[in-house]
Amino acid sequence: MDREREFERQRHEMVDRQIARRGVQSPAVLNAMRAVPRHYFVPEYARDEAYADAPLPIGYDQTISQPYIVALMSELLGVGAGDRVLEIGTGSGYQTAILAEMGCEVFTIEIVRELARRAQDTLERLGYRNVHVFEGDGYGGLPEEAPFDGIILTAAPDHIPNALTDQLKVGKRLVLPLGRYEQDLYVIEKRSDGLDQRRVIPVRFVPMTGRAEFPP
């Protein structure tokens, strides 16, 4: 069996054992997780671990998230084909690719220039044309492209940035890890009369850097 076929086998096994069995049910999410080749989003030396049930380092003190967490956050976001999604923290580009595979138009911001460029190269090489990669600080969102049908953060602030909820459509969701030391995954739904917050599970993400470290 060649290496690509072996990776495909591992990918399907990952979805069956790590994701579906833990309760992720969205067909769009499961199909995307089966389709996106995670091994292209990790460094060459880590490719044999690409489908393990764990985060992996990608350089610059950043990680690619555990597959289950990527799937869970994608499902919690509640988006689908044609929706416009803002992602803060492109990282490797893997979460970006999952959302793009689901048919979303993804606007993604990465503060580390080298990671932004590497992710863009990978996404282009894999043929994702519904992705727009920006280099910069995502704390203020992307007001020129707002409003969004969903916003997802892959780094943890210790508070909810107001600019992000301002750029979210009413009835839509922001999914983010929240907390500086002890972190939890939250779903924030924007309503006409305010924000509804729901805690999901404890998580561990890299901290959000830039302006998030010095809120007003």
By residue count, the chain amounts to 216
Helix axes 94-101, 27-35, angle to 10 degrees: 120
Provide DSSP, 16-64.
Answer: IIIIGGGT---HHHHHHHHHS-GGGGS-GGGGGGTTSSS-EEEETTEEE
d(CA 75, CA 71): 6
* Catalytic site includes residue 74: no
- The active-site residue, picked from 26, 65, 74, 92, is 65
d(CA 40, CA 64): 11
d(CA 170, CA 179): 25
d(CA 153, CA 60): 18
Quick one: CA dihedral 114, 115, 120, 126, positive or negative? positive
Which positions are annotated as active-site residues? Answer: 65
